[in-house]
A and B are shown apart, each in its own frame.
Chain A
């Protein structure tokens, strides 16, 4: 028998068995779940969309690596910047940008996401706000014109066709988002436009409307989200409460005055609600950990989104809503701890004691 080499055995505290699922599995699955939406963006907006996605992703990974190198060694920085979390941020950032984004806008977005959104807080898991949304809101406030120049969706046949964005051609190839139109021109103008251009709610569901890369096809976003549900990476709590809250609140206002307020279905299908509710509000790092907390978080997001859309000066409120609720997450976590096992049990024979 071989000499017993038990003395070299590892000493660590239990458990000695560990599950096989690791952070990169989680992150890369999220990337995969966004693939249908990315493909849709490329279909509707052509090569420009692909360039924005690739640029934002590479930008985020490179900035992640550079910022990690400021505090850790090269080997670990390399493995951490490729763990998929920076890619998720990059893809989400791209889906929050218009296809007309110039290259510098994309790179500034990536830098803001990684630096202000993530690494100033201490990197993965430490950030309070969703990095992609921090970048989007930063860009929206700093470069409002570039951030609201929406390319008309086309079909994949024109993929390689890059429409000129020169000033004399701009009006021909760009237009407003549905919610933007309602906010600036009123509901009636939008309904007239819908009738005129043959746009229906169905085309909004499949994605044939103006908007950011990821604001187009609610259907394909939901297909991707299905993968996350199936893998157990997101639960129903946040997205369902979020969407239902928006639907109910906008529905109430629609019932009050259907000539002024838009149909709640339009609200649910338009702009970034589905993207936000299923992929950004569900971000693990910046949302509550308990089921109870997630429900409060989702309702809060829905409430703020609806208030901004209905009464605010911005046409769209998803980004602001999620960021505000991100800021409330530590508080929500504190007050929504799960009930401890047996805490509700009534003790026998202790009433007298």
Chain B
């Protein structure tokens, strides 16, 4: 392995890290909020279906909505309380059903991560049992995409998996929640890794950590000693190192083909927080209902990592962190490269909320777009080998059929970040993706209809 750490070959950039703002050595536990708004469509796939009624009393960890299909996930309440209503809630562009819970006055605060927890006893468990537990506990990818974990562990027939990668790269600027988890609770991550290996019949696992997190690397390396098949992999600090396909290339040199899943090269990738959740599901039968969230940015008074029950509003978290200390220019759910801007302080956190950033005017640029000078930086910078400026041009002219390469865009934002003309490249490429997917759905619907008519006649 090179002295500079493993990395991907093509493109990428290195934005200022700003990780010093939010200390990853420790975290706070949020006191119970006044209410939780738990979105039922907070993962990829079908929304979960509520199994509680208004005025039902619920215990902490109780199932409140069950998976609405194979690609879906169970949802549990983090706190004891009463179901107050089931109004719709906006999670960004998604208008999701929700369960609103009023925590009881005597409700315990959200359960914390144990210190020095015991190792898992996997001897008696079969792969299927582990996957079932993961499914029951409502686990989803906690790195941002919220893909249901059990689906990732169920490869299509004929595909054999031989490598598990646990993603601790945390390449987004500002975010330190994964760093915080690895430093404070390495056992949960490692034991969860072991369970994931067993669940997919994999004997080789890498835990990828960027070299801007030396403490995490040291703590995890020490804790991994004596665990067969697990290597803590030092990755170069380079964006988007934590992107699934890029991390796979860095770890094992395999490149997932366009339009394919990591399955196709025999790899499964899970986030470190997801691995820790796997441990808790197996060891304590504890569902996924809270997570570490980085609250950071120059506009918030006390940036810190907080253990947050899902469904907590932005405002509650902001108040806990001392409120705003000045003007806020932009509020971002997630990291600054791939996160989503919001102006809704009632928006609740979900299983995938890795951070909330309150960015002050001096750390946000809102420039006018200049004409593209065809400098080609976006082309050289695109880790997926696309031509972002061309895709943007096609999208702006409505020529979506010609922009099918947009479907391979991972929306990492490298192109727009390095563009000297401040072009909103990802914005337009995202539009092209959206239009292409819509066209595809329409074509499928039309075909189905024609087949149905043909069957009738």
Do A and B originate from a single complex?
Answer: yes
Question: Within B344-383, which residues are at the interface with A (CB < 8 Å)?
Answer: 344-345, 357-359, 364-367, 370-376, 379-380, 382-383
In the complex, A203 has a CB within 8 A of chain B: no
Contact of A7 with B343 in the complex, beta carbons under 8 Å: yes
Question: Does A249 reach chain B (CB closer than 8 Å)?
Answer: no
A17, B370: Cα distance in complex, Å: 17
Task: Contacts A8-B343, A339-B385, A343-B257 given; indicate if A124 touches B338 (C-beta within 8 A).
Answer: no
Contact with B along A59-99 (1 / 0, CB 8 A): 00000000000000000000010010100000000000000
Chain A residues positioned under 8 Å from B84 (CB to CB): none
Contact of B387 with A6 in the complex, beta carbons under 8 Å: no
Binds A, one of B180-188, B281-289, B304-312, B409-417: B409-417
Chain B residues near A10: list those with CB within 8 A: 329-330, 341, 343, 364, 366
User: With a CB–CB cut-off of 8 A, which chain B residues contact A26?
Assistant: 373, 375, 420
Q: Which B residues are CB-close (under 8 A) to A284?
A: 373-376
A20: chain B residues at CB < 8 Å are: 365
Contact A338 to B379, CB < 8 A, known contacts A8-B343, A9-B343, A16-B339: yes
| Contacting residue for A340 out of B341, B379, B408, B411, CB 8 A | B408
Judge whether B416 and A15 touch: CB under 8 Å: yes
Interface string of A311-353 (1 = CB under 8 A from B): 0000000000000000000000100011111111101111011
Q: Is A226 an interface residue (CB 8 A)?
A: no
Cα of A105 to Cα of B314 in the assembled complex, Å: 65
Whole-angstrom distance from the CB of B14 to the nearest CB of chain A?
10
**Which residue on B lies nearest to A21, using beta carbons?**
B420
SS class, residues of chain B in contact with chain A: loop
Name the B residues within 8 Å of A285 (CB-CB). Answer: 373-374
Q: Is there a chain A Cβ closer than 8 Å to B138's Cβ?
A: no
Closest Cβ neighbor of B428 among chain A residues: A13
What chain A residues lie within 8 Å of B223 (beta carbons)?
none
| Pair A13/B420 contact, Cβ less than 8 Å | no
Inter-subunit contact A337/B387 (CB<8 Å): yes
**Of A5, A16, A23, the contact of B330 (CB 8 Å cutoff):** A16
| In the complex, B336 has a CB within 8 A of chain A | yes
A4 touches B318 (CB 8 A): yes
- Give the interface segment out of B123-131, B192-200, B259-267: B259-267
Partner of A123, one of B256, B331, B371, B385: B371
Given that A17-B337, A125-B371 are contacting pairs, would A22 and B385 also be in contact in the complex, using a CB cutoff of 8 Å?
Answer: no
* Contact residues in A for B422 (Cβ distance below 8 Å): 18, 22
Chain A residues lying within 8 Å of B389, measured Cβ to Cβ, are 289
Instruction: Name the CB-closest residue of B to A348.
Output: B266
A286 partner residues in chain B, CB cutoff 8 A = 374
B328 at the interface (CB under 8 A from A): yes
Q: Which residues of B contact A352 (CB under 8 A)?
A: 158
Query: For residue B173, which residues in chain A have a CB less than 8 angstroms away from its CB?
Result: 17
In the complex, B19 has a CB within 8 A of chain A:
no
Asked if A348 and B265 sit within 8 Å, CB to CB, the answer is yes
- Which of B53-61, B95-103, B111-119, B319-327 forms part of the interface with chain A? B319-327
Is B329 within 8 A of A125, CB to CB? no
- CB of B231 within 8 Å of the partner chain: no
Q: CB-nearest residue of chain B relative to A126?
A: B371
Q: Whose C-beta in chain A lies nearest to the C-beta of B9? A: A341
Which residues of A122-151 are within 8 A (CB) of B? Answer: 123-126
Task: Return chain B residues, CB-CB under 8 Å to A353.
Answer: 158
A135 to B309, CA, bound (A): 67
Interface check B255, CB cutoff 8 A: yes
Residues of A within 8 A of B215 (CB): none
Given the interface contacts A19-B15, A26-B420, A341-B384, does A124 sit within 8 Å of B371 by beta carbon? yes
Complex Cα distance A12/B422, Å? Answer: 13
Residue among A9, A12, A83, A288 having the largest count of chain B Cβ atoms under 10 Å: A9
Give the residues in chain A near B257, CB-CB below 8 Å.
Answer: 342-343, 345, 347
Contact A16 B359 (CB under 8 A): yes
Q: In the complex, A353→B256 CA distance in Å?
A: 18
Chain A residue at minimum C-beta to C-beta distance from B301? A1
Q: Please give the distance in Å from B326's CB to the nearest CB on chain A.
A: 8
Question: Which of B331, B390, B420 touches A25 (beta carbons < 8 Å)?
Answer: B420
Q: Does B159 lie within 8 Å of A349, measured CB to CB?
A: yes
CB within 8 Å for A345 and B265 given contacts A15-B338, A22-B420, A125-B373: yes
Q: Say how far A295's CB is from chain B's closest CB, in angstroms.
A: 13
Q: Which residues of A contact B315 (CB under 8 A)?
A: 4, 6
A285–B416 Cα distance when bound, in Å, is 18
**A14 CB within 8 Å of chain B:** yes
Q: Does B220 contact A (CB under 8 A)?
A: no
Contact A290 B324 (CB under 8 A): no
Closest CB of chain B to A19's CB: distance in Å? 5
Judged by a CB distance under 8 angstroms, whether B62 is at the interface is: no
Interface check A2, CB cutoff 8 A: yes
- B10: interface (CB < 8 Å): yes
Closest 8 CB pairs of A and B: A15-B413, A289-B376, A1-B323, A125-B371, A342-B255, A17-B336, A342-B257, A284-B375
Given contacts A16-B332, A289-B375, A348-B159, 13 further A-B contacts (CB under 8 A): A9-B341, A10-B364, A11-B343, A14-B341, A15-B336, A15-B417, A21-B418, A22-B367, A337-B387, A341-B245, A342-B256, A347-B264, A348-B264
Q: List 13 A-B contacts (CB under 8 A).
A: A1-B319, A4-B318, A4-B345, A6-B345, A12-B427, A16-B336, A17-B336, A22-B420, A26-B373, A233-B375, A339-B385, A341-B256, A345-B255
